[in-house]
Structure 1
């Protein structure tokens, strides 16, 4: 039997709006309009509920903001770390595991990451959260390279090249069709690993792309 937390149930007298509805709308607002627009009253108006609904689920606006950061950590950072730590037969397979995050926005949402980085310009606490996330992501990718025999400095630099290239790709808002990008998959893998991918390696990732 699935146990439901009281906080996940609709507020009394309001059977349509849940805690998840508030968080989802706050995330959408953060991404589209920035952190200053994540306010209780405007969110409630969009949801068609009163402020009392908000305080049924959250102690304060800061509580909601903390939940947004927690969601970001549990998706964007957790996905990269988990895939970098996933067992792989080769470094090429390891890198392709991480590539899954760039290919599936359910794993890594670049718009949310950019919105959090913009938020960090206004908050020292969020800046520290960003710095910790970058360190955690880089550390997991570096350790992946080390497990596959790369020396400490080489693993560190390769992790930086792989991660910073992808984040820069998002920051520059480059518009490139997925088909065009994956057509260079073998060259990317050579660049990030120094090894030649097999046709089977490339086919493995293409199968992942096709399944999205």
Structure 2
């Protein structure tokens, strides 16, 4: 008797599960991270989940770490690696980069909606502090005092969060054409760096 052809399944990794959890968070919030529906989405069993994770909290930690890496750690690395460029170029690149990420990242707004959850709160605190510290360093590199750099960094981060909210709730109010978008980002940069 012949065995029907079956697609060879690759072994799922913790990252596969974390990515599925992030997709669930984006679609349905933190409550959507449940083992059985994720296993169904991944075409596997709960046993695969328990091979990699002790429980849902461990999966949530892995998903949050993956989101943090993609939206913060990688960006900080990219910006700080621009050693040959001055702080103004790095700030411009940072603003351009994070605006694009904010517009495409449905996970961030979903996490902000769950900011009271202890695991999410810890991740948001780490991410926010890391991001603000980078912005402070860039403003200090532009010659602003530590206090002024911190105030400007908070303003820049607040503007980023507002932009992210607009991008997800009412995207039509943001400039869509490339030249309008450049002018908008130039205005943001000028406002943040004005003496």
Range into which the TM-score falls when normalised by the shorter chain: 0.7 to 0.9
From the superposition, tell whether residues 108 and 170 of structure 1 become closer, same or farther in structure 2 (CA, over 3 Å): closer
Which stretch of the first structure deviates more once superposed, 176-185 or 112-121?
Answer: 176-185
User: After superposition, where does 1:164-203 map in structure 2 within 5 Å?
Assistant: 164-172=158-166, 173-175=169-171, 176=174, 177=176, 179=178, 180-194=180-194
Out of 79, 92, 97, the position equivalent to 2:93 is 97
CA deviations on 1:111-169 (whole Å, 9 max, x unpaired) are 22112222223x12321321232112111110111122111222111111211101111
Over residues 17-39 of structure 1, what are the superposed CA-to-partner deviations in whole Å (9 max), with x where a residue is unaligned?
51233222211111110111110
Structure 2, unpaired ranges of 5+:
1-7
TM-score norm. by structure 2 comes to: 0.80
2:123 corresponds to 1:129: yes
1:142 aligns with 2:130: no
Alpha-carbon separation, structure 2, partners of 1:116 and 1:54: 22
Two-structure CA RMSD over aligned residues (Å): 2.6
TM-aligned CA distance change 1:135 to 1:114, over 3 Å: same
Q: Name the counterpart of 1:159.
A: 153
Q: Which residue of 1 aligns with 2:83?
A: 87
Residue 51 of structure 1 aligns with which residue?
Answer: 46
Gaps of 5+ in 1: 1-13, 196-212
**Matched length:** 181
Which deviations, in whole Å up to 9, do the C-alpha atoms of 1:40-77 show, x marking residues without a partner?
A: 11111222222112112222222111101111221212
Q: TM-score, normalised by structure 1?
A: 0.74
Name the counterpart of 2:107.
Answer: 112
Give the distance between the partners of 1:94 and 1:79, measured in 2 at CA.
14
